Amino acid sequence: MSSEWEPVLKGVISEILETMFFAVVEFDQIESERNSFEYGSEVELVSSKERILISLEVSKEFARMTTADFLGIGQDEVREDDIEDCMKELANMVGGGYFARSNNTEWRLGIPSARKIDTGAAVMPARPAGGLDFSFSGQPAGLARLVHLPV
């Protein structure tokens, strides 16, 4: 069953990845393993009545490719801090796009954060239910979530 936010978030992610990162993704029900994603980023939208967190997790390959395309450099030139900055920018653009389509002028966009996910951990935390899996060229590329938080 689709939540009302899913089509909006899919549209925002597709538009941003295509126009800013030159990547066309497909949203599927691939239910990728959580540990297949090495990079994460997130941003909050806050109003007096509502607080949401938009989070993205992407594979190392997808992060490196989109960072190189965004910066206009070769993938072999991409540094770790470039990926972190690019993942923050992706979260910021997705959050801003979601805000623009929400028609809620009361929301404030938070400061995005990014992190490298420890895929070598002996025990990975359980993957929260829900989310939008997306792929690039037939390979799992990432996962997006929108979570309502207490105000």
Q: Is residue 129 part of a domain?
A: yes
Show the domain range for 64. 5-133+144-149
Beta strands in 1-151 (DSSP E): 26-28, 39-46, 51-58, 108-109, 113-116, 132-136, 139-149
Q: Is residue 139 part of a domain?
A: no
Domain total in the chain: 1
What backbone phi and psi angles, to 5 degrees, belong to 43? -150, 145
pLDDT profile of the chain (151 residues), mean per 10: 79 96 86 71 93 95 96 96 97 95 88 88 51 91 92 82
Q: Is the dihedral of CA 124, 89, 148, 15 positive or negative?
A: negative
CATH number of the domain at 101, please: 3.40.1550.10
What 3-state DSSP class applies to 150?
coil
pLDDT of the residue at 121: 57
pLDDT of 103: 80
| Burial of 72 (C-beta count, 10 Å sphere; 0-12/13-18/19+) | exposed
